[in-house]
Amino acid sequence: MQCLLDNPLSPFPDYLLGLTVFVIAPTRPELRRQRRCQIGSTARYRLRFVQSMEEHMKPMLGKTGLAFAGLTLIAGVLAAGTGLAIAGATKVTLSGAQEVPPVQTSAAGTGTITVNDDKSVSGSVTTTGLKATMAHIHEGAAGKNGGVAIPLEKKSENEWAVPAGAKLNDAQYKSYKAGDLYVNVHSDAHKAGEIRGQLKP
């Protein structure tokens, strides 16, 4: 297997330095060596690299499974390097000002909610300045109230977490992508919600 940077027809000029990938050619002893290929840092160049690698490795797939494993590793590393993350971790900040209508409170909250491509959800929020009674992820745009999508579980006096195995349905996932999900924490003083934070992927 020839390293793409050694190929004069390669779409990756030498000056495009970026992610380093080690490719092992497994078919003949003289080819069993590591070839170091440096590719550009932009998603466009990396995508072209993966496509080129697929073409190079197709003839070898019938001879060994190692080539397929190498291609899988390359695709995974490139996805992480370009920011094409499988999981979408969203930081959220909760306040009374985001409630509808706004709530005057010194309470606040922060957390991270992760929504994966398979619509599974994980994460938690931590609150201060209130005695929370319930917390949920709701479906609704900023400035609007909506129904509960996922109830959160109480882990401690000030921590609420997404339960194991929680998933969004198709409509809720579409709302998430549009920024139309929010975390809402309720209290006895404000039963409809004391602090709220919009999830913005």
* Domain locations in the chain as residue ranges: 4-81, 87-199
Q: Is 92 helix (H, G, I), strand (E, B) or coil?
A: strand
Backbone phi and psi for residue 70, each to the nearest 5 degrees, phi listed first: -65, -40
Per-residue pLDDT, 53: 55
Per-residue pLDDT, 28: 46
Q: Tell me: the pLDDT tens digits for 113-124?
A: 999 999 999 999
* pTM check: above 0.75: no
Q: Which of 58-72, 84-98, 117-131 has the highest mean pLDDT?
A: 117-131
What is the distance, to the nearest Å, from the Cα of residue 165 to the centroid of all Cα atoms in its chain? 17
Q: What is the mean pLDDT of residues 175-183?
A: 97
CA separation for the pair 75, 70 (Å, rounded):
9
For residue 101, whether the previous peptide bond is cis, meaning omega lies within 30 degrees of 0, is: yes
Contacts 24+ apart (CB under 8 A), 175-180: 175/139, 175/149, 176/115, 176/201, 177/201, 178/141, 179/141, 179/142, 180/139, 180/140, 180/141, 180/146
- Tell me which of 127 and 3 has the higher pLDDT: 127
CA separation for the pair 23, 1 (Å, rounded):
9
